[in-house]
Amino acid sequence: MLRRKVAERLVSVKNQTAMLTTFNEADLSKIFDLRKKYKEAFSQKHGVSLGFMSFFTKAVTRALEMYPDVNSMIDGNEKVSFNYCDISIAVSGPKGLMTPILRNAQNLSFAAVEQEIKRLADNVKNKSITVDDLTGGTFTISNGGVFGSMLSTPIINPPQSGILGMHNIIQRPVAIDGKVEIRPMMYLALSYDHRIIDGNQSVGFLIAVKEGVEDPENILMNGKVEKSLGLS
């Protein structure tokens, strides 16, 4: 029954939305540097690891505020826009993929994001997730990279209008200031409903996410790293 219901939703998305996907890539060197420097202190202080999801969640909420149409949905003949960011996080569990929600993610600290994601993921895995945890959501983040996916076109989580696909991190040669360097690179994908989001908005949104994860210290933390991580 669960698989049948999921199948119905997936087919309805393909039939009822004008879904497109745009791609970009991000250099995660600075996130690696921050995690290496602060992961032990962060774990001791907050009881959770400093993962990639907190950086991406903060980058996404910033980008949603910059491009509010991506944080909107269609209800009948009306466009409904939200002044908050309830981020659905795709989590794999015993009954398949579920998308519990980080409520008001725009107000959460790095530590609060990591703690809430751990709580929700644990609840999915031990089958104690509630309907309230799964109801709502204005945008989805899916991390296929944990399974080794290099690139994908994630499918929209209805009735939302956009979903960000994260992928695996590969050490690749890239050109930096005219020289070839090996950097930890990730392909990013944004699938979106073209009925409500224009191409320039989708590209701008994904670039904003890229900017946030490539320069988290200045863009996501306003230069105050230890304060943002709750270490001062």
Active-site residues: which are they?
A: 194, 198
> Is the pLDDT confidence value at 144 over 70?
yes
pLDDT digits (tens, 9 = 90+) for 58-94: 999 999 999 999 999 999 899 999 999 999 999 888 8
Contact 142, 166 (CB under 8 A): yes
Contact 97, 116 (CB under 8 A): no
Confidence (pTM): 0.94
- The CATH class of the 2-228 domain is alpha beta
pLDDT digits (tens, 9 = 90+) for 7-65: 787 788 888 889 999 999 999 999 999 999 999 999 999 999 999 999 999 999 999 99
Q: What is the pLDDT of residue 2?
A: 63
Is there a cis peptide before residue 159, judged by omega within 30 degrees of 0? yes
Q: What is the pLDDT of residue 116?
A: 96
Cα distances from 84 to residues 97, 162, 213, in angstroms, run 24, 15, 21
Q: What is the pLDDT of residue 112?
A: 97
Tell me the domain boundaries of the chain.
Answer: 2-228
